[in-house]
Amino acid sequence: MIKNKQKLTLLLISVFLIVSSCGNKNNKKPEHVLTINDVNFGISESGYQDYLDSLLVIKPDSAYLWQQKSMFLYKARKYNLGKPFLKKAAFHDPEKYLDYSAFMKCIFSKEYKESITEFMEYKERFGDSYVMDHTYNFYIALNYLQLNKFKKAKAFLVKSKEQQFNDFPKDAPEEACHFLDWFYLGVADYELGNFNEAIESFNMSLKVYANFADAMFYKAKCLQRLNKKEEANTLFEEAKNNKQSTIIEANSYYEIYPYQVFHKQRVAN
């Protein structure tokens, strides 16, 4: 049950939006951009959903509000509940949220085929770009890795690499391309049995992220398959000793990434 103070906050926000809308010369309803901190709700409290519902009564076509409703449910791993809201966000503003929806389906809800479809649709409608610090081709490749389509995964990782080389030219190739692109390119080659090529990619990843335990682990597996057992065993131990140096992304707090061996447990405050 919402507390009286929260009820009053919702009422004041609603009144403010109504008054603002009436005073708008173009008779357009304003886009609301308050966040959870503005109303002092805890991040997992149902009161925040009530707050968003109150605003959506006034602004039902707000892609931002629908995205906010979905985001907190996805982070709580309630994907089925969040999915309809995410769909509405992408419907009302596909240029802003269709790629975000595809990302969420790749990393959060693991709907890999749907994620590929949405990324390809976005590229066709609005062009190629980046979401959550990575290329669309990067996430398409992750989807294919999880579907065991390793040749396709490698092809899209090569596209992602070339895209970054063009967009962020550097003197050193390992700096122009994100270390996770190198890591997953190594994973794709590992799955394809191209162990020497995989080691080269893992080495590039490790040039940027020196103690990257997951890259060490898969490099060790490649060495093992090449019958370099002593070198492999040494590297396995080094990977275990550096297990805190794992995949660190903005959303790795909530989800384990594909092929991630080591991960930090989410601990409640």
pLDDT at 204: 96
Residue 19 has pLDDT above 60, yes or no: no
Question: Among 28, 47, 25, 26, which Cα is nearest to 36's?
Answer: 47
CA 122 to chain centre: 16
Out of 1.25.40.10, 1.10.260.40, 3.30.1330.30, 3.40.50.300, select the CATH number for domain 150-269.
1.25.40.10
Would you call 134 helix, strand, or coil by DSSP? Answer: strand
pLDDT at 172: 83
Residue 18 has pLDDT above 60, yes or no: no
Give Cβ neighbours of residue 11 (< 8 Å, ≥ 6 apart). Answer: none
Strand partners, 131: 134
pLDDT at 266: 52
Q: What is the DSSP secondary-structure string of 5-29?
A: HHHHHHHHHHHHHHHHHHT-TT-PP
Would you call 45 helix, strand, or coil by DSSP? Answer: coil
Q: Is 188 in contact with 157 (CB distance < 8 Å)?
A: yes
Average pLDDT over every residue of 125-132: 96
Q: SS3 for 55-90, per residue?
A: HHHHCCCCHHHHHHHHHHHHHCCCHHHHHHHHHHHH
Task: Dump pLDDT digits (tens) for 135-188.
Answer: 999 999 999 999 999 999 999 999 999 999 999 888 888 888 999 999 999 999
- DSSP character at residue 135: E
Comparing 250 with 38, which gets the higher pLDDT? 250
Region of poorest pLDDT, from 9-13, 203-207, 261-265 = 9-13
CA 128 to chain centre: 17
Average pLDDT over every residue of 119-124: 98
Banded model confidence at residue 264, pLDDT cuts 50, 70, 90: confident
Parse the chain into domains and list their residue ranges.
Answer: 150-269
Q: Which helix (H) or strand (E) holds 236?
A: helix 229-241
